[in-house]
Structure 1
Amino acid sequence: MSKVGIIYWSSTGNTEAMAQAVEEGAKAAGADVEIMEVADADVDKALSYDVLALGCPAMGDEELEDGEFEPFFSDLEGKLSGKKVALFGSYDWGDGEWMRTWCGRAKDAGAELVEDEGLIVNNTPDDEGLAACRELGGKLA
């Protein structure tokens, strides 16, 4: 059984809803799952999981949230080599550049991405978006 860690940051609740759906999918597939906000996470804890799912919405000019999530990811980034990682988040504008950049950073660090292009949902996840999150969770198990 895989031990899956889901670490996310959410302002409006959209990325939190995605994280919860990823958790549902991973649990349904038999994984041992722990979910937490990035404020409650640290790099050592993140690296202790067999599989890591990270969620952050697009902020500002299509960037990761810079108060909590970006510093956490920057500390984690150099230690991702060989780690199975999934990236997800919501956005309200733009074309997903923040996710492409984030995926590129993870790949450059040697992470094994579960979804090469991450999983993004526009605004509040609808039934289709939540189903995609559950499917992603299943792939983590």
Structure 2
Amino acid sequence: MNMLIVYWSATGNTEAMANLILEGATAAGAAVTLKEVSAANVSDVEKADVVAFGCPAMGDEILEEDEFEPFMKSIMGTISGKNVGLFGSYDWGDGEWMRRWAKDVKATGAKLLDGGLIVNLGPTGDAINACKTFGKKLAEM
């Protein structure tokens, strides 16, 4: 099973989550490729058995608009039937961006893990284990 993790991170919080998810998935036996969104393309997504997408909440609880949102729009037609995980960090709000994002991904026919994983600011304490467990669950999908 091969997994692709694609993320965007401004402060390093979502990148830290991506690395912990990678750690959990690798420990569960997955072959994992980690890419910043600027280095990822549709072909990468098509080749993966499982894809995890990570983006923090921006502004009024939206996806990052310059790189990440356009990338997501470009791959929505390729994730139908795929096992997908969504993750990201936030500073304030209640996770509305993740709920909308999950709804959009589910509408493609993708198989979404747990409705997504959100962490307030950077992963510390229990959030570290939550990220690793999320990676393990993705590897087992």
> Could you say what secondary structure the match of 1:25 adopts?
helix
What do residues 43-69 of structure 1 show as CA deviations (whole Å, max 9, x unaligned)?
111121000000000001100000100
Could you say which residue in structure 2 is the equivalent of 1:140?
138
Amino acid at match of 1:138: K
* Distance in 2 between residues matched to 1:47 and 1:53, nearest whole Å: 13
* Distance in 1 between residues matched to 2:86 and 2:93, nearest whole Å: 18
> Could you say what secondary structure the match of 1:78 adopts?
helix
* Distance in 2 between residues matched to 1:74 and 1:9, nearest whole Å: 15
> Could you say what secondary structure the match of 1:71 adopts?
helix
> Could you say what secondary structure the match of 1:139 adopts?
helix
Could you say which residue in structure 2 is the equivalent of 1:123?
121
> Could you say what secondary structure the match of 1:27 adopts?
helix
Could you say which residue in structure 1 is the equivalent of 2:3?
4
* Structure 1 segments unaligned to the other structure (5+ residues): none
1:94 aligns with 2:125: no
Amino acid at match of 2:68: F
TM-score (norm 1): 0.96
Count how many residue pairs are aligned between Structure 1 and Structure 2. Answer: 139
* Distance in 2 between residues matched to 1:33 and 1:40, nearest whole Å: 15
State the 4+ residue runs in structure 1 displaced beyond 3 angstroms. none
Amino acid at match of 1:25: G
Residues 45, 78 of structure 2: 8 Å contact kept: no
Could you say which residue in structure 2 is the equivalent of 1:14?
13
> Could you say what secondary structure the match of 2:106 adopts?
helix
Displacement after TM superposition at 1:78 (Å):
2.2
Could you say which residue in structure 2 is the equivalent of 1:72?
71
* Distance in 2 between residues matched to 1:23 and 1:79, nearest whole Å: 22
What do residues 54-93 of structure 1 show as CA deviations (whole Å, max 9, x unaligned)?
0000001100000100000011112211010000000001
* Distance in 2 between residues matched to 1:62 and 1:46, nearest whole Å: 25
* Distance in 2 between residues matched to 1:127 and 1:24, nearest whole Å: 16
* Structure 2 segments unaligned to the other structure (5+ residues): none
* Distance in 2 between residues matched to 1:139 and 1:88, nearest whole Å: 13
C-alpha RMSD of matched pairs (Å): 0.7
TM-score (norm 2): 0.96
Q: Percent identity at matched positions?
A: 56
Displacement after TM superposition at 1:127 (Å):
2.1
Could you say which residue in structure 1 is the equivalent of 2:28?
29
